[in-house]
Amino acid sequence: MIRPIALVLALGLAGCAAQTEAPPVPPLAAQGNRTPAYNAIEGAAEAFGNPASLQGRPALAAVAVSRLEWSAEAVAADRSFYIFSAVTAPALSAARWEVRHALGISTDAPPAVVIAGMEQAAAALNRGDSAAAAAALPPPVFSPDTLARLANMPRMPQANLATRRAQRDIEFGRQEDWDFP
């Protein structure tokens, strides 16, 4: 009787270990002068904190979305991100929903699909190939006007707050640790 319980515990722990691995940082989202994770989080915070800087620049907006998608997945999945507040992962998840809703992206699409589409669209736009960018964002995951929406990124308060929280956490550590007895 002890063996089945031990097996269940071992399998349960193995399942937990598999869920704590963060996905790799996408190539465009990782670009910057620091570590890829820091670049992704910092870049998302800067983009969603100043959406006017993205107006008419859909490639940059697509990279910002890729960065947010990755951040939401990585902070929630990787327990090595012990520096993040307990509310950061849920805030990033809510921000992801807000951004997907605003840009016409299916709210139940797998994050990897959204990241790949955004990265491919941004790369195509950087090459000046708008047809390839549109092809990188196919229905039903993306609405037919997602590319146009990227060019006119609206202000998204939840995305701004969540990415700023993640930026603060990665820079200064968890706010819960700031309180000293």
87 φ, ψ (degrees, to nearest 5) = -95, -5
CB atoms within 10 A of CB 120: 18
* pLDDT digit string, tens, across residues 45-76: 999 999 999 999 999 999 999 999 999 999 98
Is residue 155 in a domain?
yes
pLDDT at residue 8 greater than cutoff 70? no
Amino acid present at 106: S
CA-CA distance, 5 to 158, in Å (whole number)?
A: 43
CA-CA distance, 108 to 125, in Å (whole number)?
A: 25
CA-CA distance, 63 to 174, in Å (whole number)?
A: 26
State what percent of residues in the chain have pLDDT above 70.
82
pLDDT at residue 123 greater than cutoff 50? yes
Instruction: Please state the rounded mean pLDDT for residues 154-181.
Output: 83
pLDDT at residue 33 greater than cutoff 50? yes
Which residues neighbour 116 within 8 Å (Cβ) at sequence distance 6 or greater? 26
Is residue 4 in a domain?
no
Q: Which domain holds residue 157?
A: 21-172
180 φ, ψ (degrees, to nearest 5) = -105, 140
- In this prediction the pTM is 0.83
CA-CA distance, 66 to 36, in Å (whole number)?
A: 13
| DSSP sequence for the chain | -HHHHHHHHHHHHHHHHHHTPPPPPPHHHH-SSS-HHHHHHHHHHHHHH-GGGGTT-HHHHHHHHHHHHHHHHHHHH-TT-TTS-TTHHHHHHHHHHHHHHHHTB-TTS-HHHHHHHHHHHHHHHHHT-HHHHHHTS-TTTB-TTHHHHHHTPPP-HHHHHHHHHHHHHHHH--GGGG---
Instruction: Please state the rounded mean pLDDT for residues 101-121.
Output: 97
Instruction: Please state the rounded mean pLDDT for residues 128-135.
Output: 97
117 φ, ψ (degrees, to nearest 5) = -60, -45
Number of domains in the chain: 1
pLDDT at residue 81 greater than cutoff 80? no
81 against 37, higher pLDDT: 37
Question: pLDDT averaged over the chain?
Answer: 85
Instruction: Please state the rounded mean pLDDT for residues 68-88.
Output: 83
Chain length of the chain: 181
Is residue 177 in a domain?
no
Is residue 15 in a domain?
no
Is residue 106 in a domain?
yes
Is residue 43 in a domain?
yes
72 against 79, higher pLDDT: 72
